[in-house]
Structure 1
Amino acid sequence: MMHHPTRRQFEALLLASLCGAASAQSARQPAPAAPQQPWPTKPVRLLIGFPPGSVQDLSARAISEQLSKQLGQPVIVENKAGASGTIAADQVAKSIDWHTFGVMNNSQLTIAKMLNPATAYDPSRDLAPVALIGVTPLLLVVSNAAPGATSSDWMTWLRNMGSKASYGSPGVGTPGHLGMELLKSRASFDAVHVPYQGNPQIITALNGGQLHAALLPPGLALQHVRAGKMKAVGVTSGRRSPLASEQPTLREVGVLGADLELWTAMAGPAGLPAAIRDKLGAAVIEVVKDDETRQRLLTAGWQAAPSNHEGLRIRMKSDTQTLGGIIMLRNIRADS
């Protein structure tokens, strides 16, 4: 004789059936992603491609303390000098922990691959812009060996020296190199390029008489100019700069078409999640807008110019065209 299930048995069978269907459904579909941990979860590293005391190093250290407070984690500045800053930039490009970034200059973020096809990273493909920090013109300086009392006198001296004159830069393809090559074509002098590891070493060589000229950030050069150890010709910006208010522009002393600014910016690896990029970029902008940080940047030789990743991307595109044009004009290669 067939026994029909009671109501309680029927409900138990229905519950078991539903549970079984739910188990089968969960087996067919992936489990929902676990909530993401808040970023950052450990110290943030800022890699600098130049030695301690260089302008990139100074800009990173000017913001690191306040940035640490914004992010709630230590911000550690690490110098990885060499190869015109590309060693540090390549380490950033290859990082996968989302806690390693670089504070970089124009050439690291624009034309490194154009200069040397063997460069291990491609700025346009392997690096993600995060935020612009600051800008500065470069200051054309000459050694105390230059005779006369005016910028025109010193430019005449450089021209007359021909290839016996030498100028220093932090490396092939850096703004100090490309800017000087542009100046050579505009002002008709022929100084020979001598690469150094960084601007502090160039200053030492200028003061010691081993070099005749250089394009240097005002924040590094002016103290030596004011001390009478070298002579300043003018700044590369289109207008006079608050970083060197007493100095004329090169346009004012008759050198036209050689406008150039050095900038410092933060970038990460290309795969950087947008949420992290935006959080870090917003923190950098907030820090740079702070009056105390702006003054620290000014002291370090930078005019604060906070901008998000899109603003930095536009500047990168513009400088890729400008600096790339200099590379083609002067046929510059990383082994030159």
Structure 2
Amino acid sequence: MSRPVVVPVPRRAALALAIAALTSSPWALAQQAQQSSAQKPAAKPAAPAAAAAPVAWPTKPVRIIVGFPAGSSPDLTARTIAEPLSKALGQPVIVENKVGAGGNIGADAVAKARDDHTIGLMINGNMTIAKMLNPAVPYDPIKDLAPLSLIGTSPLVLTAPVSQPGVPATADAREFFVAARNGGDKWSYGTPGVGTVGHIGTELLKSRSNINPVHVPYPGYPQVATAMLGGQLQMALLPPALAQAQVKAGKLRAIGVTSSGRSPLVPDVPSLAEAGITNYNLEIWNAFAAPATMPKPIQAKVAALISEIARSPDVRSKLFQQGWQVVGTSPEGLANRIKADTNLLGGVIAMRGIKAE
């Protein structure tokens, strides 16, 4: 049996073969790969996907829901804003009246809208104390509505008959409050209903001035004014336009405005502060809101447009004639006002145990 032939390999050749075998092992290949990778420049990260272009808005007509009848103050404000807003958006803007429950039916419709093309014009009660007055209200003003812009504010005017027992014909505001204190619960005051700003505001006034008239609710402010003219009421907080019309006709007297200072809406009427009523500031207001589910970019766009339109000279003049001192705030400005009024009016509701009927 023959033996295998062993061919001697020179030392240098043997060393070369060993190196070749070593460098071909998996471990060596991995090491080489790491070194090669370290020597190469780092790969650039993949470019992020291009951000989706914003969706064009509006893509159809925009609705403004108003919870009050056609011809009411909120309705007039909504229609004053609607025309220039339509021009700015390039789409029709339709005012839709959903009347009832002091504007809460309309506010609920706004809160539940999901078409991203619905906003609402509301009074302060709808956006502040609605749920405090009546837990059965189907929407939550804080959670379900997104503030857009506070449009206009107005004080109320404390008004009384020109002549009434116990009040001198020449009585100023301080003398009027003396007579009201003497009248106690034999006096009465009227409002458009339980839980309205006129109601809560007068209850606040009672606590600030130590008077005690009895509350008598009516369907609306015109009926309150008529009752005062007939002698059934001794006092009431009325909107400036209605109060001024009766005062100029010589049928009612203006005692004072509920704002902290005199109002440009009724510059000749003193503030109640001038009559010694301290820490008292009450205003009614209207504002635009959107469903809280409306995308934030759309909220921001429509809020900016509405605010700008409200502060334009032409619209400002029209709203002033309607009885509003124009503000035209940002959403944050309206949110701050909502918080302040909720605290103020909510405190009166709790103190007096007021519940909507």
Query: When the two structures are superposed, what TM-score results if normalisation uses the length of structure 2?
Result: 0.78
Q: 2:129 aligns with which of 111, 114, 117?
A: 111
Q: Deviations over 1:43-70 (max 9, x none)?
A: 3322223344443233223322222222
Which ranges of 4 or more aligned residues in structure 1 deviate by more than 4 Å? 32-37
CA contact (8 A) 1:128 1:268 kept: yes
Q: Are residues 1:57 and 2:79 paired? A: no
Q: Are residues 1:306 and 2:328 paired? A: yes
Matches within 5 A, 1:37-116: 38-116=56-134
Seq. identity, %: 53
Note the C-alpha offset of 1:218.
Answer: 1.2
User: Secondary structure in 2 aligned to 1:38?
Assistant: coil
Note the C-alpha offset of 1:284.
Answer: 0.6
Note the C-alpha offset of 1:34.
Answer: 8.9
Distance 1:102 1:153, change over 3 A: same
Alpha-carbon distance in 2 for matches of 1:197, 1:74: 34
Distance 1:303 1:334, change over 3 A: same
Note the C-alpha offset of 1:161.
Answer: 3.5
Amino acid at match of 1:77: V
Equivalent residue, structure 2, for 1:258: 280
User: Secondary structure in 2 aligned to 1:211?
Assistant: coil
Note the C-alpha offset of 1:299.
Answer: 0.5
Q: Are residues 1:328 and 2:350 paired? A: yes
Q: Deviations over 1:78-98 (max 9, x none)?
A: 333332221221111112222
Equivalent residue, structure 1, for 2:192: 170
Equivalent residue, structure 1, for 2:247: 225
Distance 1:255 1:74, change over 3 A: same
User: Secondary structure in 2 aligned to 1:242?
Assistant: coil
Distance 1:72 1:169, change over 3 A: farther
Matches within 5 A, 1:179-218: 179-218=201-240
CA contact (8 A) 1:111 1:324 kept: yes
Segments of structure 1 that go 5 or more residues without pairing to the other structure are 1-31
Note the C-alpha offset of 1:226.
Answer: 1.2
Segments of structure 2 that go 5 or more residues without pairing to the other structure are 1-49
Note the C-alpha offset of 1:190.
Answer: 2.1
Alpha-carbon distance in 2 for matches of 1:101, 1:164: 45
Q: Are residues 1:319 and 2:341 paired? A: yes
Amino acid at match of 1:131: S
Q: Are residues 1:121 and 2:121 paired? A: no
CA contact (8 A) 1:62 1:300 kept: no
Note the C-alpha offset of 1:209.
Answer: 4.0
Q: How many residues align?
A: 304
Note the C-alpha offset of 1:248.
Answer: 0.3
Amino acid at match of 1:213: M
Note the C-alpha offset of 1:208.
Answer: 4.2
User: Secondary structure in 2 aligned to 1:233?
Assistant: strand
Equivalent residue, structure 2, for 1:3: none
Amino acid at match of 1:78: E
Q: 2:266 aligns with which of 195, 219, 244?
A: 244
Query: When the two structures are superposed, what TM-score results if normalisation uses the length of structure 1?
Result: 0.83
User: Secondary structure in 1 aligned to 2:261?
Assistant: coil
Q: Are residues 1:234 and 2:256 paired? A: yes
Q: Deviations over 1:232-278 (max 9, x none)?
A: 11011111111111010001012222211222110111111112211
Q: Does 235-244 or 223-232 show the bigger shift?
A: 223-232
